[in-house]
């Protein structure tokens, strides 16, 4: 994809702004350096763990800058149209003869280098993507194949000695300001390998203590024998949802999981790493703004004998499967070095159907250049499928059915077999249609079948939620929830589904934006038996699906309430929070009925309000597509706050008891502190911070002198309605700018929230629960 002038063979660079954004202009390399245009390059450092040494290269004498000096392991400009990671891999292969897959490269920071050399003739304004490749041992020097026009020699040097030489501005070394931005390289290495094992163990123990272990029980009496047979097969299919989800989070995540599990008994620290990883299903902590609790130093060792020239007596290159410290916003749905600008430029070049696939729930986005590089480097193992023939863009989309084909084929087999056993016709239909969807990538019929499910054994399985895609909020993750229906509780909740259209027509929103045909939402209450896939960190108490706007418009949504999860959270978390944070006079108003009823109404309110919208210019769109990465947080806030508004409306219509009125507001206040503890990087935590701060600023929530909180019942209804109107109007207009302003202003850890969180920290109230599934364990043991 590199752009080269046909006559001079001179390389072209993308010209950037001073903040690193593409301008859409490309220029020849000579012009860029003569005129001082900002551009991008890659730095790749090879670090040997066992000797704590960095590999450095001596630049060839013919180079136009820093000729003959010792420098980075490998570096190079990113040509116009090329990507960062592909360039890093290619430069390492061309300059040193080291061929490595993408999971060897860890992006550690971006460094802006601004300097002038060669008597002012060479101006270098360069954004450098700095990568670290971690090997177990030094690579034998004879294993390298040096590109003579670029590199004259290589050597290993202690990272501490190298830092010292740079600090002294030794004339044999290309200068880097180790006291400035580039010092990060050395600081990162030092932190990783000079850590205090005891202190780290204590830190992980503290993180683990935020989760209360809970053994979930459920009554299987009344479940037909045929459904019990199906249940075992469904557990096997759910386990495959786990496999896929690990891969969706990050491409080296599955190998990290296997490595941590295999080494969990090596030491107390290794056991703690594995225990906390199991909760988060990644190296990033859900309750700590996705801060990494592991590093590449903790990761799996992979042997790649063919990575370099063979050396007698050496088994080959061993490297650590890398992952970045900062959680990638695009997860593993997009190339890690793709930004929004590149995606949008590509999208505009596509047909309408192709755009739908690119922004759809059930595709991943990949690079042609990465495919081509893998094909040339590993030609014997890579499929020869042709992608985007004739395309001038580097991106292409791949359906889930192709990307996860082997896993989905196995899952489909289990679902078909379970469907054959299932006693309920609706469950049979759902399981067979979902199995077909796994292989066709068309989930419409299976989602309709899920909505019509009427079975004692309740199953949700497939790609649904989009929280993991923090870049756009487009892509769905795989998950599974298997439970047994509580028939009595389900019958009691018909009221909410039956009144959705009434609620829609009375929303605090201009009538022009209201839907005339909201369909009542069926609600199922279940006791959870097993979950898998995207169920990391804080456990969900309910869900409202599907998210496909076509189905929401045509058929509405269905809700599933996880009653035993709600009961566990209320007992272990919400009640202790209320005892600490709510003023004594209002503590008795916090009860499970209010908590659970609002949870139901929250899920109902996902089904009302704007979904498919018409923009001011007349274009048809959806709220999700317009608000992109802001959609999840705002939608969670909408469901919460409009849920409060809806409960008040139903109470005033005498459809719910008036005793609920005060208790729902106080229970909601206590719930704010529960959800904000999930972190402000998580959609529910973001949404809750927005609501708390809005209601506090309106005087609806009060911080008392003794640092407890209470509700002002004279102000809370008005405050709830005003925020409901604000959010609903933003969604109806698809106004991303207004959404961003609202979240920036109110989605913060304000002083009152800090007061509450500090009080909870002192008495160590759990933040969430970790369920174990004793019923399923017993069934599987009996099978064995």
- pLDDT tens string 58-99: 999 998 778 999 999 999 999 998 999 999 999 999 999 999
The Cα 430–Cα 447 span in angstroms is 8
What is the pLDDT confidence band of residue 314, given thresholds at 50, 70 and 90?
Answer: very high
Cα 302 to Cα 270: distance, rounded to the nearest angstrom: 19
When pLDDT is cut at 50, 70 and 90, the band that residue 519 belongs to is confident
pLDDT at 379: 57
Nearby residues of 93 by Cβ (< 8 Å), 6 or more positions away: 99, 100, 377
pLDDT tier at 317 (50, 70, 90 boundaries)?
Answer: very high
| pLDDT (0 to 100) of residue 386 | 44
Query: CB 41: neighbour CB atoms within 10 A?
Result: 21
- Answer whether residue 143 shows pLDDT above 70: yes
Write the pLDDT tens digit of every residue in 152-195: 999 999 999 999 999 999 999 999 999 998 999 999 999 999 88
pLDDT of residue 4: 45
Supply the pLDDT for residue 22: 85
| CA 259, 262, 266, 269 torsion-angle sign | positive
Residues 6+ apart with CB under 8 A from 266: none
Which residues are bridge partners to 561 per DSSP?
Answer: 525, 542
Q: What are the tokens at 378?
A: 């590993």
- For 587, counting Cβ atoms within 10 Å of its Cβ (0-12 exposed, 13-18 middle, 19+ buried), the class is middle
Q: Is the dihedral of CA 404, 324, 23, 92 positive or negative?
A: negative
Distance CA 765, CA 96 (A): 54
> Which of 325, 52, 323, 293 is CA-nearest to residue 193?
52
Q: What is the pLDDT of residues 706-728, one digit of tens each?
A: 999 999 999 999 999 999 999 99
Q: Is the pLDDT of residue 109 over 80?
A: yes
pLDDT of 3 > 60? The answer is no
Residue 285 contacts residue 275 (beta carbons within 8 Å): no
Residues 6 or more apart whose Cβ sits within 8 Å of residue 176: 166, 182
Report CA-CA distances (Å) from 559 to 543, 562, 567, 602, 692. Answer: 6, 10, 18, 10, 25
Whether 218 has a pLDDT exceeding 70, the answer reads yes
Give every CB contact of residue 381 below 8 A, 6+ residues apart in sequence. none
Tokens of 491: 């019958």
Q: Check pLDDT > 60 for residue 383.
A: no
Q: What is the band of 7 on the pLDDT scale with cuts at 50, 70, 90?
A: very low
Question: What pLDDT is recorded for position 414?
Answer: 98
Specify the length of the chain in residues.
784
The mean pLDDT value for 120-130 works out to 90
Calculate what percentage of the chain has a pLDDT beyond 90: 78
**Cβ atoms of 244 and 407 closer than 8 Å:** yes
> Cα separation of 362 and 441, whole Å?
7
In this structure, the dihedral spanned by the alpha carbons of residues 294, 297, 298 and 303, taken in order and rounded to 10 degrees, is: 140
Give the end-to-end CA distance of the chain in Å, rounded to a whole number: 54
pLDDT band at 373 (very low <50, low <70, confident <90, very high): confident
pLDDT of amino acid 378: 62
**Across all residues in the chain, what is the average pLDDT?**
92
Cα–Cα distances (Å) from 312 to 46, 97, 154, 305, 480, in that order, read 22, 17, 20, 12, 50
Taking the C-alpha atoms of residue 677 and residue 107, their distance in angstroms, rounded to an integer, is 29
pLDDT on residue 518: 82
Residues paired with residue 129 on neighbouring β-strands, in sequence order: 42, 110
* pLDDT, mean of residues 311-315: 97
Helix (H) or strand (E) holding 62: none
Q: What is the pLDDT of residues 230-240, one digit of tens each?
A: 999 999 999 99
pLDDT at 9: 67
Mean pLDDT across 730-735: 96
Above pLDDT 70, what percent of the chain? 97
Q: Is the pLDDT of residue 387 over 90?
A: no
Tell me: pLDDT of 313 over 90.
yes
What is the reported pLDDT for 395?
Answer: 96
Query: What's the pLDDT score for residue 784?
Result: 65
Beta bridge partners of 531: 481
- pLDDT at residue 110 in the model: 94
Say whether pLDDT at 284 is over 70: yes
pLDDT over threshold 90, residue 121: no
Closest CA to 132 of 320, 334, 317: 320
pLDDT at residue 485, rounded to an integer: 96
Q: DSSP states of 17-46 as a string?
A: -TTS-EEEEEEEHHHHHHHT-EEEEEEEEE
Angle of helix 631-652 versus helix 660-676 axis, rounded to 10: 170
DSSP letter assigned to residue 742: H
From residue 657, alpha-carbon distances to 16, 452, 487, 591, 644 in Å are 62, 30, 22, 14, 14
pLDDT in tens, 397-430: 999 999 999 999 999 999 999 999 999 999 999 9
How confident is residue 554, by pLDDT bands cut at 50, 70 and 90? confident
Identify the three-state secondary structure at position 681: coil
| CATH top class, domain 12-193 | alpha beta
**What would the mean pLDDT of 611-640 be, rounded to a whole number?**
92
11, β-bridge pairs: 4
pLDDT band at 779 (very low <50, low <70, confident <90, very high): confident
pLDDT at 288: 92
- Pairwise CA distance, residues 724 & 698, whole Å: 13
Contacts 24+ apart (CB under 8 A), 247-250: 247/332, 247/404, 248/331, 248/332, 248/333, 248/468, 248/475, 248/477, 248/478, 248/534, 249/281, 249/282, 249/331, 249/332, 249/468, 250/282, 250/323, 250/328, 250/331, 250/332
pLDDT of residue 381: 43
Q: What is the pLDDT of residues 658-703, one digit of tens each?
A: 999 999 999 999 999 988 887 777 777 888 899 999 999 999 999 9
């Amino acid at each position: 994809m590199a752009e080269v002038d046909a006559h001079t063979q001179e390389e072209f660079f993308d010209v950037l702004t001073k903040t690193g954004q593409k301008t859409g202009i490309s220029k020849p390399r000579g012009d860029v350096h003569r005129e001082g245009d900002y551009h991008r390059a890659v730095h790749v450092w090879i670090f040997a763990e066992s000797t704590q040494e960095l590999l450095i290269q001596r630049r060839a004498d013919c180079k136009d800058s820093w000729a003959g000096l010792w420098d980075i392991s490998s570096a190079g400009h990113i040509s116009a149209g090329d990507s960062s990671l592909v360039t890093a891999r290619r430069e390492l292969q061309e300059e040193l003869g080291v061929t490595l897959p993408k999971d060897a490269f860890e992006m550690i920071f971006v460094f802006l280098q601004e300097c002038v050399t060669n008597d002012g003739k060479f101006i270098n304004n360069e954004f450098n993507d700095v990568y670290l490749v971690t090997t177990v041992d030094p690579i034998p020097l004879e294993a390298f194949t040096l590109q003579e026009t670029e590199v004259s020699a290589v050597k290993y040097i202690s990272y501490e000695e190298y830092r010292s030489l740079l600090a002294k501005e030794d004339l044999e070394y290309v200068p880097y300001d180790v006291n400035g931005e580039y010092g990060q390289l050395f600081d990162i290495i030092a932190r990783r390998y000079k850590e205090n094992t005891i202190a780290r163990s204590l830190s992980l123990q503290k993180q683990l203590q935020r989760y209360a272990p809970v053994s979930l029980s459920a009554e299987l009496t009344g479940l037909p024998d045929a459904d019990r047979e199906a249940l075992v097969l469904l557990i096997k299919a759910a386990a495959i949802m786990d496999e896929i989800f690990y891969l969706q989070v990050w491409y080296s995540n599955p190998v990290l999981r296997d490595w941590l599990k295999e080494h969990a008994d090596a030491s107390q620290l290794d056991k703690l790493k594995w225990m906390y990883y199991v909760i988060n299903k990644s190296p990033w902590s859900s309750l700590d703004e996705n801060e990494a609790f592991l590093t590449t130093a903790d990761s799996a060792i992979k042997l790649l004998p063919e990575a370099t020239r063979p050396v007698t007596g050496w088994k080959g290159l061993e490297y650590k499967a890398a992952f970045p410290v900062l959680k990638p916003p695009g997860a593993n749905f997009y190339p890690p070095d793709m930004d929004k600008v590149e995606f949008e430029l590509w999208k505009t070049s596509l047909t309408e159907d192709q755009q739908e696939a690119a922004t759809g729930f059930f595709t991943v986005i990949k690079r042609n250049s990465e495919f081509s590089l893998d094909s040339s480097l590993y030609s014997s193992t890579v499929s020869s499928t042709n992608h985007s023939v004739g395309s001038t863009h580097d991106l292409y989309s791949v359906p889930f059915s192709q990307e996860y084909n082997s896993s989905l084929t196995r899952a489909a087999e289990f679902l078909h077999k379970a469907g054959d056993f299932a006693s309920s016709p609706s469950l049979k239909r759902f399981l067979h249609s979902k199995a077909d969807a796994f292989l066709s990538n068309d989930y419409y019929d299976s989602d309709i079948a899920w909505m019509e499910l009427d079975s004692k054994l309740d199953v949700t399985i497939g790609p649904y939620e989009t929280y993991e895609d923090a870049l756009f909020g487009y892509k769905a993750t795989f998950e599974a929830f298997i439970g047994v229906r509580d028939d009595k509780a389900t019958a009691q909740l018909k009221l909410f589904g039956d009144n959705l259209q009434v609620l829609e027509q009375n929303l605090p929103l201009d009538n022009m934006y209201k839907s005339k045909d909201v369909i009542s939402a069926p609600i199922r209450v279940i006791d959870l038996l097993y979950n898998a896939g995207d169920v990391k960190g804080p456990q969900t108490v309910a869900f409202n699906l599907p998210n496909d706007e076509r189905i929401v418009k045509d058929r509405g949504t269905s809700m599933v309430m996880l009653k035993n999860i709600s009961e566990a959270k209320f007992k272990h978390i919400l009640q202790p929070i209320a005892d600490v944070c709510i003023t004594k006079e209002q503590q008795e108003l916090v009860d499970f009925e209010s908590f659970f009823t609002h949870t139901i109404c929250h899920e109902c309110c996902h089904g009302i309000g704007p979904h498919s919208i018409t923009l001011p210019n007349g274009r048809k769109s959806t709220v999700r597509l317009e608000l992109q990465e802001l959609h999840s947080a705002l939608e969670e806030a909408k469901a919460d706050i409009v849920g409060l508004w809806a409960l008040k409306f139903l109470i005033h219509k005498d459809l719910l008891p008036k005793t609920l009125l005060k208790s729902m507001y106080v229970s909601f206040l206590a719930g704010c502190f529960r959800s904000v503890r999930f972190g402000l990087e998580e959609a529910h935590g973001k949404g809750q911070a927005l609501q708390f701060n809005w209601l506090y600023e309106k005087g609806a929530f009060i911080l008392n002198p003794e640092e407890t909180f209470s509700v002002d019942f004279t102000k809370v209804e008005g405050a709830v309605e005003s925020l409901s109107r604000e959010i609903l109007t933003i969604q109806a207009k698809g106004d991303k700018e207004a959404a961003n302003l609202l979240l920036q202003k109110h989605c913060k850890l304000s002083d009152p929230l800090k007061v509450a969180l500090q009080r909870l920290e002192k008495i160590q109230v759990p933040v969430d629960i970790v369920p174990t599934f004793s019923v399923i364990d017993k069934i599987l043991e009996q099978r064995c």
